[in-house]
Amino acid sequence: MKRTKKWALSFSFFLILISLNLKAQEIYHEQYRSQNHFSPKKHWTNDPNGMVYYKGIYHLFFQYYPDSTIWGPMHWGHATSKDLVHWEEQPIALYPDSLGYIFSGSAVVDYKNTSGFGKDGKVPLVAIFTHSDPKGASAGRNDFQNQSLAYSLDEGKTWTKYAGNPVLKNPGIVDFRDPKVMWYEPQKKWVMTLATKDRITFYSSLDLKNWTKETEFGKDKGAHGGVWECPDLFSLDYHGKKIWVLVVNLNPGGPNKGSATQYFTGHFDGHQFISNSDKTKWMDYGADEYAGITWSNTGNRKIFLGWMSNWMYANQVPSVVWRNAMTFPRELKLEQVGNEMYVASQPVKEISGIVENQSNKNKMDAGKPMDLSTMFEKFKVPSKLDFELGKLENFSITLSNDENEKLVIGFDKAANQYYIDRTLSGKVDFQKGFAAVHTAPRLSPDKKLKISILLDVSSIELFADDGLTTMTDIVFPSKPYNHIEFSKGLKVKNIKYVALKSIWL
Ligand code: FRU
């Protein structure tokens, strides 16, 4: 009797374990769920926030509404990763309060305890974010967005809001938000890069609590089709020379409509940013990279992450349990083309940690649809495909599935443009402008023709010319694409197929 009871108990425990495991699998494997991009278990997300690397952990906070799949009162959700690829969702870090919703911002490691938040030798992580007061907004006030602080003394696990919030009060600018803070070593001070409607305003501080206005940048520079949001400022090394990059997100007014990320290259002296070009440059030309900024405290590496959606339809995309994911993290580097400096991006090298297997194929028959799963044993999504192509001619590469849904990537020689055509890519009817062809310039005439695509269940990221031109588009095919067809005449020298593991296993 006793034995049977024991057996029954362990059997039911076993069943519970199985069902928990099944549940975990279901959660991250619903229709359209990205398999190698972070998305919250449930509900709404937009911008990545407070990205900071500390003690071997990458922290990713994110605009989060835990009660719905529609944008609402903003919190900071939290996820952590040891390798930028596998993410573990953590408890919510910051909740709205009497000063408002918790809008976007950044986080720094205050090693010198300039803020005084550190205690007993514990280094404070400090988050600098926008408090956006919904009551002020609906009353039509112009000062409802203010900058505030929160700190963590347990390496990012729990956060305490500063009692003296807000630390930077609004001077009467409706769009006054998204502080990105960095330590400026030559002058031993903090610099805040803030989006202030149609320009960037720089502030400085010795203690993160008292801020002094330095200068403004950009009223007459770059793209101005919408409000400037989510900026970032950092330097990159170019053959021993320090070049500053100012990232400015913009909504709307992107190169393919809606929200997008532009950037400027130039010089910063702790006081003022001067750009070295009048050209408008985009970090990603696709429709679905937005609010992209970089991790702080990563030394010489600059790792960029964007939100993989567009404000034109982010609230309507057809996922049910959660809404929206982040891009794959990208490493940034500078490249010069003629007299212009550009920022090129590539998936971070840590992608190697999810490589399942890889194979090559050369000599392909152009003009015939080919079954990807016979071309590459067990082709599946997510995966990465690297194409080495012949002469630079008009070409198209069509990915399709058995439902005849198609995603086309191509190049238009006369226009010198890459494109992604998602008009027939699957579910497109949830918003009028979603079914579209997006274009992006080929920036370097001399580059060998090489393109890479990162293909996930509901997204494609195109890295052309070693990441000099990048395009991110989301797609909602009813089944994964399993056929490929090259346009007639296209010389495909080689395709490397890299099968990627799901990050949620
Ligand atoms: C950008 C943005 C930010 C703001 C946040 C609100 O996508 O509009 O400017 O802080 O989203 O969720």
pLDDT in tens, 15-33: 554 444 545 558 899 999 9
Q: How far, in Å, is the centroid of ligand 1 from the Cα of 303?
A: 20
All residues at 6 or more sequence positions from 4 whose CB lies less than 8 Å from its CB, including other chains: none
Q: How far, in Å, is the centroid of ligand 1 from the Cα of 49?
A: 10
Q: What is the CA radius of gyration of the chain?
A: 23
Residue nearest to atom 9 of ligand 1 (CA): 229
For the chain, domains (ranges, CATH) are 31-347 (2.115.10.20), 355-500 (2.60.120.560)
Q: Which atom of ligand 1 is nearest to the CA of 175?
A: 9
**Quick check: bond before 171 cis, omega within 30?**
no
Exposed / middle / buried, residue 422 (Cβ in 10 Å: 0-12, 13-18, 19+): buried
Our CA angle for 161, 166, 168, nearest 5°, is: 130
Q: How far, in Å, is the centroid of ligand 1 from the Cα of 333?
A: 26
Q: Which atom of ligand 1 is nearest to the CA of 105?
A: 10
Q: How far apart are CA 395 and CA 404, in angstroms?
A: 20
Choice from 63, 248, 261, 308 to test ligand 1 binding pocket (greatest atom count within 8 A of CB): 63
Task: Dump pLDDT digits (tens) for 70-83.
Answer: 999 999 999 999 99
What is the token pair recorded at 385? 């495909």
Cα atoms found within 13 Å of the Cα of residue 438, Cβ hemisphere only: 30
User: 185's torsion region: left (phi>0), alpha (psi -120 to 50) or beta?
Assistant: alpha
Q: Which atom of ligand 1 is nearest to the CA of 47?
A: 7
All residues at 6 or more sequence positions from 379 whose CB lies less than 8 Å from its CB, including other chains: 372, 373, 482, 497, 499
How many other β-carbons are positioned within 10 Å of the β-carbon of residue 92? 15
Choice from 46, 175, 198, 324 to test ligand 1 binding pocket (greatest atom count within 8 A of CB): 46
Our CA angle for 277, 282, 283, nearest 5°, is: 115
Beta-strand pair 43-54/322-323: parallel
Residues recognised as catalytic: 47
Q: How far apart are CA 103 and CA 195, in angstroms?
A: 12
Torsion sign across C-alpha atoms 304, 305, 308, 311 = negative
Q: Which atom of ligand 1 is nearest to the CA of 63?
A: 12
For residue 228, give the nearest of 190, 267, 279, 174 by alpha carbon: 174
What is the token pair recorded at 464? 């052309």
3-class DSSP state of 466: helix
**Quick check: bond before 347 cis, omega within 30?**
no
Q: Which atom of ligand 1 is nearest to the CA of 132?
A: 10
Choice from 43, 44, 45, 47 to test ligand 1 binding pocket (greatest atom count within 8 A of CB): 47
Q: Which atom of ligand 1 is nearest to the CA of 290?
A: 7
Q: How far apart are CA 264 and CA 280, in angstroms?
A: 8
Q: How far apart are CA 431 and CA 435, in angstroms?
A: 8
Q: How far, in Å, is the centroid of ligand 1 from the Cα of 102?
A: 10
Q: How far, in Å, is the centroid of ligand 1 from the Cα of 252?
A: 12
User: How high is the pLDDT of residue 60?
Assistant: 99
Q: How far apart are CA 130 and CA 132, in angstroms?
A: 6
What's the predicted TM-score (pTM) here? 0.95
Q: How far, in Å, is the centroid of ligand 1 from the Cα of 258?
A: 14
Secondary-structure breakdown of the chain: helix, strand, coil percentages, each rounded to the nearest 5: 10, 45, 45
Q: Is the CB of residue 202 less than 8 Å from the CB of residue 271?
A: yes
**CA dist 76 → 130, 131, 145, 180 (Å):** 11, 12, 16, 15
Q: How far, in Å, is the centroid of ligand 1 from the Cα of 461?
A: 23
Mind listing the pLDDT tens digit of every residue in the chain (505 residues)? Answer: 455 566 565 656 555 544 445 455 588 999 999 999 999 999 999 999 999 999 999 999 999 999 999 999 999 999 999 999 999 999 999 999 999 999 999 999 999 999 999 999 999 999 999 999 999 999 999 999 999 999 999 999 999 999 999 999 999 999 999 999 999 999 999 999 999 999 999 999 999 999 999 999 999 999 999 999 999 999 999 999 999 999 999 999 999 999 999 999 999 999 999 999 999 999 999 999 999 999 999 999 999 999 999 999 999 999 999 999 999 999 999 999 999 999 999 999 999 999 999 999 987 878 888 999 889 988 999 999 999 998 888 999 999 999 999 999 999 999 999 999 999 999 999 999 999 999 999 999 888 889 999 999 999 999 999 999 999 999 999 999 999 999 998 889 999 999 999 999 7
Residue nearest to atom 6 of ligand 1 (CA): 103
Largest CA-CA distance found in the chain, in angstroms, rounded: 85
For residue 94, give the nearest of 167, 192, 162, 160 by alpha carbon: 160
Exposed / middle / buried, residue 140 (Cβ in 10 Å: 0-12, 13-18, 19+): exposed
Which helix (H) or strand (E) segment holds residue 7: the answer is helix 2-27
Report the pocket of ligand 1 as residue ranges, CB < 6 Å: 46-47, 63, 74, 103-104, 130, 177-178, 229-230, 291
